[in-house]
Amino acid sequence: MQTVRTDPIDGQKPGTSGLRKKTAVFKRPRYLENYVQSTFDGIDGVQNKTLVVGGDGRFFNDAAIQIILRMAAANGAAKCIVGQGGILSTPAVSHLIRLRKADGGLILSASHNPGGPDADFGLKYNGANGGPATETVTDKIFARTTEIETYRIAAGDDIDLERIGDTQIGSMQVEIVDPVADYAELMGSLFDFAKIRALFASGFTMRFDAMHAVTGPYAHAILEDTLGAAKGTVMNGVPSPTFGGGHPDPNPIWAKSLMDIMYGADAPDFGAASDGDGDRNMIVGRGAYVTPSDSLAVLTAKAHLAPAYKDGLAGVARSMPTSRAVDRVAESLGIGCFETPTGWKFFGNLLDAGKVTLCGEESAGTGSDHVREKDGLWAVLLWLNILAETKLSVADLMADLWSTHGRCYYSRHDYEEVESEKANAMVDGLRAKLPSLAGSTIGKLRVETADEFAYDDPVDGSRSSNQGIRIVFKGGARVVFRLSGTGTQGATIRIYLEQLVTDADRLHMEPESALEMVRAAALQLSELTAKTGWVDPDVVT
Ligand code: G1P
Ligand code: ZN
């Protein structure tokens, strides 16, 4: 065991999803070590604790795991449970922490950000409930990064991450486990696998794009081997350190090859994709893309068709920028609907307290109380269970949602790598206008309410302020402005546009035209072009 002298390298503030930096930053001398020791210190040490460790297989995953294990040993941990080959999807880590009653876990991932020597890396700590660390904990971790003087690491050779079974580092036990088995068993307990198997056996076709990321082995095992989907259903199913040079974010832009298949001749019945670490999902039917906000609404309306949710839902939650489609479904079901700040950790308290069963975000995250992370494959399987029960197509299910509850047209516009000062100036400008906006007319829209979202957690009473600017217009339009908390360079401005339409003859418009008025109002209000020099967004989802 060695105690190594070190100095704080720079202020390393973990965001809503742990710490994300360029891989080269994580590889700087002592950087990863400093952050790991700060994490251990921030959780009051790991003495005698059991931790789950795994990542999405991106470049530096395995080398970082070897360092983390030697540091956990030197810090007195009793045991680390590690996915074979260093692989574990984020929801699988969450499940393993809960299943094995571990004290917490470390997830190595930068989620949907590209991986590789010139791309991104990340590290996140999840607590004993299986969910992302609370803000109190991440604040403590951050505080330690600014004052750290030493870290502890055990000497010794790398261990073999491929060999399933037990080994030791000093007096710490390391158990290498199959990354898929426990997760697959959990899925089998939630859904009617026999029904889904029968659906595939009847000729139902599907494509699942694992995007060269972590869900490949899970999707092969569950969709093809267990549920009988045809071989070849899973595309890009072998995890690669650089995600095949791609951007493992399941949306119509980055999963374009899947979109082309789903909108092409001979499209299969159902398409889905998941991201780098397996917590996000994209759902697309034959010629029918489903926005994540609409997906949450459909799942809420139909979850009772799956065994795990047959008694109904306690309530649902969505992040503030997520469209209000699910609110309308929740209202008709007579269940509570919570609006939380962006980031999965805010759902944790609601799930733990049994106030909600399902939750979701516009950024392609959906989940339930089965783990404390969003879960890409879980969402895909719940969709499959609903399709198997209803025998409807995805397009039919959407049409049914819209005719019953109205359609929330929705789009997110991202402006990436904007100079931070300019982005902040735009937000400050908007903030200054807020008090005088109600009742005024912007373009063709009349403002109903305008505020900056703050969240009072109904479980622990904590308050989170400055969680995005929201402007609600008369007639069902809404715009939300916020700055990303997960970018690794400059600032990313996100503008979320929404327009509710209930007229039966306007339920099948092009989203762009339905959103035209609210988009114009958003640009006018924010003075985006004048303040930042930007005109068109980099990514529209
Ligand atoms: C983004 C998404 C947010 C999600 C987070 C982690 O955060 O918008 O919904 O929880 O990634 O996957 P942002 O960059 O907007 O702060
Ligand atoms: Zn992710």
What does the pLDDT look like over 252-298, one tens digit per residue? 989 999 999 999 999 999 999 999 999 999 999 999 999 999 999 99
User: What's the CATH code, domain 2-178?
Assistant: 3.40.120.10
pTM across the whole model: 0.94
111 CA → ligand 2 middle, Å:
4
Mean pLDDT across 112-137: 93
CB of 486 closer than 6 A to ligand 1? yes
Does residue 488 carry a pLDDT above 80?
Answer: no
Average pLDDT, the chain: 95
Does residue 220 carry a pLDDT above 70?
Answer: yes
pLDDT single digits (tens) 166-177: 999 999 999 999
CB of 347 closer than 6 A to ligand 1? no
- Residue 111 among the catalytic residues: yes
Does residue 117 carry a pLDDT above 60?
Answer: yes
| 67/33 Cα distance (integer angstroms) | 7
Share of the chain above pLDDT 70, in %: 98
In sequence order, what are the residues at sequence separation of 6 or more whose Cβ sits closer than 8 angstroms to the Cβ of residue 133? Answer: 14, 18, 43, 124, 125, 126, 127, 141, 345
CB of 344 closer than 6 A to ligand 1? yes
Q: Which of ligand 1's atoms lies nearest the C-alpha of 112?
A: 12
Q: What is the pLDDT of residue 456?
A: 95
Note whether 492 and 484 are within 8 A (CB).
Answer: yes
pLDDT confidence tier of residue 135, bands split at 50, 70 and 90: confident
Q: What is the pLDDT of residue 11?
A: 57
112 CA → ligand 2 middle, Å:
5
Fold category of 183-405 in CATH:
Alpha-D-Glucose-1,6-Bisphosphate; Chain A, domain 3 (3.40.120)
| 469/485 Cα distance (integer angstroms) | 15
Note whether 116 and 242 are within 8 A (CB).
Answer: yes
Q: What is the pLDDT of residue 524?
A: 95
Mean pLDDT across 343-350: 89
Does residue 491 carry a pLDDT above 90?
Answer: yes
Q: Which residues pair with 369 in a beta bridge?
A: none
484 CA → ligand 1 middle, Å:
7
Residue nearest to atom 8 of ligand 1 (CA): 363
CB of 342 closer than 6 A to ligand 1? yes
Mean pLDDT across 125-134: 93
Q: Which of ligand 1's atoms lies nearest the C-alpha of 15?
A: 16
CA atoms within 13 A on the CB side of 410: 22
pLDDT single digits (tens) 450-474: 999 999 999 998 899 999 999 999 9
Q: What is the pLDDT of residue 10?
A: 63
Does residue 50 carry a pLDDT above 70?
Answer: yes
Residue nearest to atom 4 of ligand 1 (CA): 343
Q: Which of ligand 1's atoms lies nearest the C-alpha of 494?
A: 15
| 475/118 Cα distance (integer angstroms) | 46
CB of 328 closer than 6 A to ligand 1? no
Does residue 9 carry a pLDDT above 70?
Answer: no
Does residue 196 carry a pLDDT above 60?
Answer: yes
Domain(s) labelled CATH 3.30.310.50 in the chain stretch across: 408-540
| 364/259 Cα distance (integer angstroms) | 15
Q: What is the pLDDT of residue 1?
A: 72
222 CA → ligand 2 middle, Å:
19
Fold category of 408-540 in CATH:
TATA-Binding Protein (3.30.310)
CB of 481 closer than 6 A to ligand 1? no
Q: Which of ligand 1's atoms lies nearest the C-alpha of 343?
A: 10
CB of 485 closer than 6 A to ligand 1? yes
> What kind and span of H or E run contains 376?
helix 376-390
With the most atoms of ligand 1 within 8 angstroms of its CB, the residue from 342, 464, 481 to mutate is: 342
181 CA → ligand 2 middle, Å:
20
pLDDT single digits (tens) 54-112: 999 999 999 999 999 999 999 999 999 999 999 999 999 999 999 999 999 999 999 99
| 424/447 Cα distance (integer angstroms) | 23
Active-site residue, selected from the candidate residues 38, 94, 109, 111? 111
Note whether 276 and 370 are within 8 A (CB).
Answer: no
Does residue 40 carry a pLDDT above 60?
Answer: yes
Does residue 31 carry a pLDDT above 70?
Answer: yes
Q: Which amino acid is at 311?
A: D
Does residue 8 carry a pLDDT above 90?
Answer: no
Residue nearest to atom 15 of ligand 1 (CA): 484
Residue nearest to atom 13 of ligand 1 (CA): 484
Domain(s) labelled CATH 3.40.120.10 in the chain stretch across: 2-178, 183-405
Q: Which of 72-81, 446-455, 481-490, 493-502 shows the lowest mean pLDDT across its residues?
A: 481-490
362 CA → ligand 1 middle, Å:
9
Closest ligand to residue 482's CA: 1
With the most atoms of ligand 1 within 8 angstroms of its CB, the residue from 361, 372, 541 to mutate is: 361
Closest ligand to residue 279's CA: 2
Note whether 128 and 99 are within 8 A (CB).
Answer: no
Share of the chain above pLDDT 90, in %: 89
Q: What is the pLDDT of residue 12?
A: 62
| 451/495 Cα distance (integer angstroms) | 15
